[in-house]
Amino acid sequence: MDRLAKNWINGEWIDSQQYVQSINPATYEVIGQYADVTTEQVEQAISAAKTVFKKSGWKRDRHLRAKVLNEMADAFERHADELIEILATENGKIKPEATFEVTMIPAKLRYYAAVTLTEYGRALEPKPGSYSMVLREPMGVAGIIVPWNSPVVLMVRSLAPALAAGVTAVIKMPGQTAQTNALIARIFSELSALPKGVIHLFSESKSLGARLLIDSPDVPVISFTGSTATGKAISAAGAQHLKRFGLELGGKTPMIVFKDADLDLVLPKLEKAVTIFAGQFCMTGSRLLVQREIADELKQKLAQRLSAVSVGPAADPNSDMGPLIDKNNVERVNATVEKAIAEGAKVIVRGGPVTEGELAKGAFYRPTFLEVHDNSLQIIQEETFGPVLTVQVFDTEEEAIELANDNQYGLAASVWSRDVNLPLRVAAELEAGTVWINDWAVVYDEFEEGGFKNSGLGRMNGMAAMDDFIEYKHITISTGIAGSE
């Protein structure tokens, strides 16, 4: 396929002297190529974004920002079918998953358009003749670093509050989704209300551009979604400039199932929690904790469901789960599983790489289900980022909480019980930024999400998402009017 994805910098389509192939991970067929960004191009984007922030009225014109966000929502709706198609092809998601990602974007943009016009500061008279106000002001240029697993919605999740706050943005997109990235940039280019230079978007195969954003003194804020190790590294690098960081990092979501849970409701969610996006999701339900009284029944029924999952390309409507992003990740996930088995994990469903037939050309990995008795194993303590589920058995509520919290991550958790009080008690004790009761992966634009412990800093979604991009300024006015005696 002769398709070249270029970078979009300062309102122009920018080519490069270096090209990288775009791959369909389900077939490993080449679907195009992209211009790998250069140092000079990223520096140009940062400079232009800084100039627009300093010299234009963007940061003070709330009505313009709301108009741009609403227009952007309309544009994403117009291009939804095209986005779904290229995302499924390039990212490996099956069509329902790609549809879910793309169709949730307009509402998010419209929410922040509304927030732009309804946000408020504070003003009062602390004493006679003295008036004080606190303004929330945009910080400048935001560097937005986007992962490959859900590139469209995770980009918008950072960009929407950034634009609402009034910053300008330089967006680093992953090379694995360059064709999708180019379509996003084309959507931006169609926005008549968007001033030139407010948004810049580039793709890269490595991390050169991301590093420039992190190291630049002209980029005071970084919004990053990705692994905990990378999040810590960029935080350390940006500390010399005291950058503001919004970080959503790794997760190891415990799915806690008590003996009175409705298994007819639980089982489909457990299956989907480990197979959605082929397990390449920060909130993947990768740790099953089940009370002993129902453990055998749940393990047996879940094993049947996971064994029946049909892996395949998005082009096949019968596919239940798509491929991993590439074959390197297939090898990485499989090595993690093999290590766990060698350390004593019991195999319930082996799954693993597809090595025969037409699917062997792609990066397919069948769901794996392991029983673990040692909570210190790597497969329990570290994010696997693949369709791998572990199960541990507990006896008491206190034991379930202890197992769930005995982990470096704290992004999310799920609790299942017919009781009213029990799941609320457990939720109060769980060290997680989001807790679902009798559900999983429910996210609302209006409500904040983010991680405890090593799962991040700051919050995405909701009003608090804007705080990553805002400084507070206190202004006091002495009028000389002391008031009546």
Contacts of residue 421, Cβ cutoff 8 Å, sequence gap at least 6: none
Going by pLDDT thresholds of 50, 70 and 90, the confidence category of residue 100 is very high
What domains appear along the chain, each with residue ranges and CATH number?
4-249+455-474 (3.40.605.10), 254-437 (3.40.309.10)
Q: What separation in angstroms does the CA of 186 have from each of 132, 192, 209?
A: 44, 12, 20
Residue pLDDT, tens place only, 185-204: 999 999 999 999 999 999 99
Residue pLDDT, tens place only, 205-252: 999 999 999 999 999 999 999 999 999 999 999 999 999 999 999 999
Collapsing DSSP to helix, strand or coil, 298 comes out as helix
pTM (two decimals): 0.97
Going by pLDDT thresholds of 50, 70 and 90, the confidence category of residue 33 is very high
Decide if 36 contacts 72 (C-beta within 8 A): no
Q: Would you name the residues annotated as active-site residues?
A: 248, 282
> Which token pair is 116?
């732009």
Residue among 56, 51, 1, 45 at smallest CA distance from 24: 1
Q: What separation in angstroms does the CA of 284 have from each of 197, 276, 349?
A: 36, 8, 18
Cα–Cα distance measured from residue 60 to residue 116, given in angstroms and rounded to the nearest whole number: 11
Residue pLDDT, tens place only, 384-426: 999 999 999 999 999 999 999 999 999 999 999 999 999 999 9
- If you count them, how many residues does the chain have? 485
Cα–Cα distance measured from residue 352 to residue 174, given in angstroms and rounded to the nearest whole number: 26
Contacts of residue 278, Cβ cutoff 8 Å, sequence gap at least 6: 92, 321, 322, 323, 324, 365, 386, 387
Cα–Cα distance measured from residue 460 to residue 442, given in angstroms and rounded to the nearest whole number: 14
Cα–Cα distance measured from residue 49 to residue 169, given in angstroms and rounded to the nearest whole number: 7
Q: In the predicted model, is pLDDT for residue 462 greater than 70? A: yes
